[in-house]
């Protein structure tokens, strides 16, 4: 059994993590914490998220001292804001913990991105260098030795799982950038009061056009420029990403199909569609990314659907945990 | 033409008022205001409510000085918080304006209710005495002379329109209190950031059980105790109220039908159903209260549906304005 | 291992059953069937319900011959229409199977109800007499010997779990009937094309006023008349029932609390709230019924929330299975 | 006053037409009809669409004989299926009526498209040649003489209004096809029972990939190939289209802005955003198309939002009527 601590357990991703880890046969939750300033400190997780009542009734304690909190802990999950993860991760790592960070704080190697897209100066180039980006289907080997796993963002997971098989097989025309249109549920904005996410204000619209912080994460890890347009949808959970790419001249629909099949044949958390396109409801509440695609002439359209809180956050974090420690990949997930 | 000022124009009810008054043939909007502390002061109403773009592009100005703001103004609409209306209404009345208050500040005569349910001590017993309660279908005569019209709350409008015809005809068994179950859209909570009305937190549930502030408003104006259980629903607008009452022994279904028909025969903003029950979507965006009913033995069930922001607030305010000044009752509404 | 057959597996409740039984450690799904006339016959369950892809990929076969289908089967779940269950259950019972029927065909003892509320003449008085009504928290002992278990309807489960503790302790004033207002998600209407459940037509409204078929089921099993008003809500899953009752004079809030606590202290699938009222989102996707209550004077309001497809159908069926065969009550459910 | 007949009045677009035309100062509705086979024949429009109760209470009559129905009628609106419009329009035209067809039956000149995308052989090349495509902002002059106006489809209206200003100014790089991703509300599928549009089945997904019938309509009228990917969203009304285009080298953001401003400066039903992007809720229930755009390097993203039943159907039909007869463009619409 590995002892584990969830930091930032009160958010939507944190609550999902608690649910997965609570039933994980090899994990023992030794603590749930939240910022000492939070009004939620001291409450039961199941008072904040009543769906967990009778399932995970642990208290959420204020995180006052990292060294203290890290004692006896093997694995730490950080479901915290980017700046908070940036500060906490090195401390838990120094204490010998394996850290799974669900924020964006260690996802891209170039610290300049943090200045430009996240609004803070990154202080930990060493950990940026050592962090393993946890896009699980593509990083299984690197994960085995990782100390710090930067779990990918919700949009980047869907976008990269959709595009990477074609890029790896060199089927895409590089003159034309992939166009990624994605729509996310409101939980992607986190659990907090804000006018923009209040019930009566939410409505389908594009946002962060040309300047969303997931843009550099996607293009850096794909190694190719993309056009990424995120949208907010009127639903609590899920992401649907529709990607339009241009194939190299002469590439056939069969080659496209073969690229997807070879990429995901043995990947239990990616479900390939051999006909039709995935719908959001097929993945909400589930740890999968569902992918469909269609080819016409030199054009290919790929649709990827996932639960932004699960395959786009907590389920992928647990998937990375499983790969890191050699547990079966879907343990506690399916 | 009557000059009119809308105070608190940035909220959901205020925006609807602006839309109605802007197209009202006898009204001239001379100003829209908001609290001087508000971050919205100085913006266009249509920047806050983009659906009004090209329709009502007036600026929302900070309300700094009531005497100044009241100059040349015939009619004031207060779409403000209870405490704010409580303070402002007497000042605008002193300046000679006719005031339509959409808050609860002058709806019940007994000031003790304000201490108990609204959390403030009421200072204006004189205006509590003079205020006319604007349940339009039942108060047409009194409205003609009113200086201060207390426009009813959203739940009380639906509940009273449902019950009053039976009470007036003395058909109800007084031993058994009417049971009012009502479900409101989220806009009833106002336009503001709060965790409880954030998109991912909203979910059908009962609240304010036995202690909602609309309870005394309903029972006082009906003159009978009731059991009122409000619910929040996962939709932006509308109220559906289901009322269960016990009839006096021997009362027939025909007597019930006759009570409703005689009450609302010439009331254009109440639509009676002769079969079936009204659905929420039939009234959203419209100024009507739709009412259906069914009788079995000594039991009667009445369902009333309205748009909480319209018949439950702004449309009823304009209906009261029309009755107050002798304009056709549905002017600018239908 | 018990061999099990799910008849009517293509509906919403059937798909949930397949998910639960597939992961049940003591159950082996030997077949999924649908009417031989259905266009779905021969398809994979996961083609009809893509969320099951990779989890339950079994084919749905046409049910042509009951005797053949029953061979080697220990347990049959009927997730079929009332009339179909009425015809099939006796055949499977004759073949020696234990039958869990999710329809209304065997829920009330008096065959006259079927003529009046279900539109068919009941032919199997013997099985009406022998059937055990599977309101699991209240029937654990009877279930142990049952051959035919009539799993309660979705509304009746919520309503009875809310009222029964007070009735059993004789705390209710019998002069005044409990008023049950309940709102159900659209999946309660089943998986089929109809204008009334099409996306653009669904809207909060009351239906079946004074004549819903769950009315006799509730009042018969409670042993007391009730007023039951069902509503359709604009959400796919879940039921919220708000029940208003009158207490006997002198009954205290403590007595009410004690009644609920003693009824459900050791019932893992009923979650009692000691403060506040349950919200729909806390139970959707989960096998629980959540219950809150409040007392004022002689009035008590109880709110019960459940997933209509789970505690209101499939989860309760599996709970009954567990009780019938002596498995731990929450096996495969939590 | 012009006498007008609405054929196919029972659908969602038909009901909106009835509402607009009923309040139009120059129009007199002389009849509402539906197919003689329809179960709705003989009912009141307000029984089918209760929101119209007290507003448009006209009966919907069976259309039995076109010559008879056309007597005394100046203007006919066809809110009928494509095949039905194809058959009826020439008959009403022969009777001397001006016909506004909301179906796809006369939108593209090349009859081959009908065979390929609509599944029927077009028989009226003469009317295909004479029909004026009613994209109102771009066709004002041609509309003045038109006898048959083919009102554009919902997706094509949003897509063309977004792209046409840039094409007309020759700012787009023709090597790269515009990528149109659009999400429509469920009412776009019409008012009918079908499993695919039932409440519990609807979920955000792409459909008609590479083969939707609006594809040739868009590319033909723009005169350029496009990639069009429609999606169904979980909301009743509205379309949001996000268009990604490549600019010619050297084209500036100012040129893009100038193109939009000059195109729509005097077009009251297109609302240009000078900052930010339109949201769906800003146009639902309103006759506008709202457009925002952003430029980065050679890439431009344009977002267009409209109510699919209004600017995407009925409001545009009335706008065409106004332009055809020289009434002010927004008569009865704003």
| Contact predicate A240/D205, CB 8 Å | yes
Q: List, for residues D72-89, the tens digit of each pLDDT value.
A: 999 999 999 999 999 999
**Across C6-13, average pLDDT:** 98
> How many Cβ atoms sit within 10 Å of the Cβ of residue B67?
10
- For an interface test with C, which of B182, B184, B201, B205 has the most C Cβ atoms less than 10 Å from its Cβ? B205
Confidence of residue C154 (pLDDT cuts 50, 70, 90): very high
- Taking domain D154-306, whether its CATH number is 3.10.20.340 is answered by no
- Note whether B290 contacts D: Cβ–Cβ < 8 A: yes
Q: How confident is the model at residue B159 (pLDDT cuts 50, 70, 90)?
A: very high
Please tell me the pTM assigned to this model. 0.97
Nearest to B244 by CA among B300, B184, B160, B167: B300
Mutation target for D interface from B48, B50, B287, B334: give the one with most D CBs within 10 A. Answer: B50
When pLDDT is cut at 50, 70 and 90, the band that residue B305 belongs to is very high
- Output phi, psi for A82, to 5 deg: -55, -50
- Quote the mean pLDDT of chain D: 97
Contacts of C240 in chain B (CB under 8 A): 204-206, 231
Cβ atoms of residues B154 and B284 within 8 Å: no
CA B131 to chain centre: 15
Give the number of other Cβ atoms within 10 Å of residue C201's Cβ: 18
Q: In angstroms, rounded to a whole number, what is the distance separating the alpha carbons of residues A130 and A109?
A: 9
Per-residue pLDDT tens for A249-297? 999 999 999 999 999 999 999 999 999 999 999 999 999 999 999 999 9
- Phi and psi for A173 in degrees, rounded to 5? -75, 115
Q: Are D170 and D245 in contact (CB under 8 A)?
A: no
Q: Can you tell me the mean pLDDT for B212-224?
A: 96
A2-151+312-325 CATH:
3.40.50.720
Q: Judge: D299–A234 Cβ closer than 8 Å, yes or no.
A: no
Helix (H, G, I), strand (E, B) or coil at A94: helix
Question: For residue A60, what pLDDT is reported?
Answer: 98
pLDDT at B333: 98
Q: From CA D275, how far away is CA D303, in angstroms rounded?
A: 12
Instruction: Encode pLDDT of A155-188 as tens digits.
Output: 999 999 999 999 999 999 989 999 999 999 999 9
Q: Which helix (H) or strand (E) holds C113?
A: helix C112-113
Can you tell me whether residue C90 is helix, strand or coil? helix
pLDDT per position as a tens digit, D293-330: 999 999 999 999 999 999 999 999 999 999 999 999 99
Which letter does DSSP use for residue A288 in this model?
-
Q: How far apart are CA C99 and CA B330, in angstroms?
A: 61
**pLDDT averaged per 10 residues in sequence order, chain A, 334 residues:** 97 98 98 96 97 97 96 98 98 98 97 94 97 98 97 98 98 96 97 96 98 95 98 98 98 98 97 96 98 98 98 98 98 96
Say yes or no for a CB contact (<8 Å) between A200 and B186. yes
Question: What are the boundaries of each domain within chain A?
Answer: 2-151+312-325, 154-308
Q: What is the mean pLDDT of residues B221-235?
A: 98
CB D152 within 8 A of CB D135: yes
Four-way CATH pick for B154-308: 3.40.50.2000, 3.30.565.10, 3.30.360.10, 2.30.40.10: 3.30.360.10
- Helical spans, DSSP H, in chain B: 12-22, 45-48, 66-70, 82-94, 112-113, 125-130, 140-143, 154-168, 214-222, 253-264, 315-325
* Residue C97 among the catalytic residues: no
The pLDDT tens digits for C165-179 are 999 999 999 899 999
Residue pair D137/D158 in contact (Cβ under 8 Å)? The answer is: no
DSSP string, A223-251: TS--EEEEEE-SSSS-EEEEEEEEBPTT-
Under 8 Å CB pairs connecting chains B and C tally to: 102
Contacts of A196 (CB under 8 A, 6+ apart): A189, A202
Give the model's confidence band at B241: pLDDT under 50 very low, under 70 low, under 90 confident, else very high.
Answer: very high
Give CA B10 to chain center in angstroms.
17
Which of these is catalytic: D97, D154, D289, D320? D154
Rounded CA separation B256/B268 (Å): 20
Q: In what side-by-side order are the strands of the sheet with A179-184?
A: A205-206, A227-232, A179-184, A239-246, A299-306, A289-296, A270-272
Q: CA C261, CA C274: separation in Å to the nearest integer?
A: 10
Give me the mean pLDDT over the D172-191 stretch.
96
Residues of D in contact with A206 (CB under 8 A): 240, 242, 277, 292, 301, 303
Report the residue from A206, A210, A277 with minimal CB separation from D206. Answer: A277
Say if C192 is an interface residue toward chain D (CB within 8 Å): yes
Give C157's pLDDT tier (boundaries 50, 70, 90).
Answer: very high
Residues of B (246-285) whose Cβ lies below 8 Å from D: 268, 271, 278-279, 281-283, 285
Q: Is CATH 3.40.50.720 the right assignment for the domain spanning D2-151+313-325?
A: yes
**Long-range own/partner contacts, residues C215-219 (CB < 8 A, 24 or more apart):** C215/C117, C216/C108, C216/C110, C216/C113, C216/C116, C216/C117, C217/C104, C217/C107, C217/C108, C217/C152, C217/C153, C217/C156, C218/C155, C218/C156, C218/C159, C218/C160, C218/C180
Say which of D195, D201, D236 has its CB closest to residue C200: D236
For B84, half-sphere exposure in the C-beta direction (CA atoms, 13 angstrom radius) is 17
**Which CATH number is associated with domain C2-152+312-325?**
3.40.50.720
The string over B243-258, giving b where at least 16 C-beta atoms fall within 10 Å of a residue's C-beta and e elsewhere, is bbbbbeeebeeeebee
Per-residue pLDDT, B197? 97
Give the active site residue among A154, A245, A289, A320. A154
Q: Which two tokens stand for residue D57?
A: 């209470």
| Domain C154-309 grouped into CATH 3.90.1150.10 | no
Q: Which residues of C touch A281 (CB under 8 A)?
A: 51
> By the 8 A CB rule, do C290 and A53 touch?
yes
Instruction: Quote the pLDDT of residue C49.
Output: 98
C-alpha to C-alpha distance for B321 and B287, rounded to whole angstroms: 14
Which pLDDT score is estimated for B150? 98
Strand spans (E) along A73-147:
75-78, 98-101, 132-133
Interfacial D residues in 94-133 facing C (CB < 8 Å): none
């Amino acid at each position: 059994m590995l002892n584990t601590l969830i930091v930032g357990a009160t958010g939507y991703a944190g609550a999902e993590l608690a649910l997965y880890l609570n039933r994980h046969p090899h994990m023992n939750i030794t603590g749930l914490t939240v910022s000492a300033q939070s009004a939620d400190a001291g409450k039961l997780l199941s008072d904040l998220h009543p769906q967990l009542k009778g399932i995970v009734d642990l208290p959420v304690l204020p995180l006052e001292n990292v060294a203290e909190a890290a004692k006896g802990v093997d694995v730490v999950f950080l479901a915290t804001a980017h700046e908070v993860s940036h500060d906490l991760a090195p401390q838990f790592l120094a204490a010998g913990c394996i850290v799974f960070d669900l924020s964006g704080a260690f996802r891209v190697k170039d610290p300049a991105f943090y200045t430009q897209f996240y609004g803070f100066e990154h202080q930990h180039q060493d950990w940026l260098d050592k962090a393993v980006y946890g896009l699980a289907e593509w990083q299984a080997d690197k994960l085995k030795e990782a100390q710090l796993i930067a779990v990918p963002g919700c949009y980047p997971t869907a976008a990269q799982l959709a595009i990477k098989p074609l890029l790896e097989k060199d089927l895409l025309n590089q003159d034309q950038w992939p166009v990624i249109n994605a729509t996310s549920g409101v939980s992607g904005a986190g659990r907090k009061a804000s006018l923009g996410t209040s019930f009566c204000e939410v409505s389908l619209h594009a946002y962060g056009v040309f300047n969303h912080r997931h843009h550099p994460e996607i293009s850096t890890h794909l190694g190719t420029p993309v056009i990424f347009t995120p949208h907010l949808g009127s639903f609590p959970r899920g992401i649907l990403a529709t990607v339009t790419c241009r194939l190299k001249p002469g590439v056939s629909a069969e080659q496209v199909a073969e690229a997807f099949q070879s990429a995901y044949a043995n990947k239990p958390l990616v479900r390939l569609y051999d006909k039709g396109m995935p719908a959001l409801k097929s993945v909400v509440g589930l740890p999968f990314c569902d992918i469909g695609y269609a080819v016409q002439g030199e054009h290919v359209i790929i649709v990827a659907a996932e639960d932004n809180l699960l395959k786009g956050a907590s389920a992928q974090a647990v998937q990375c945990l499983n790969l890191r420690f050699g547990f079966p990949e879907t343990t506690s997930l399916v």
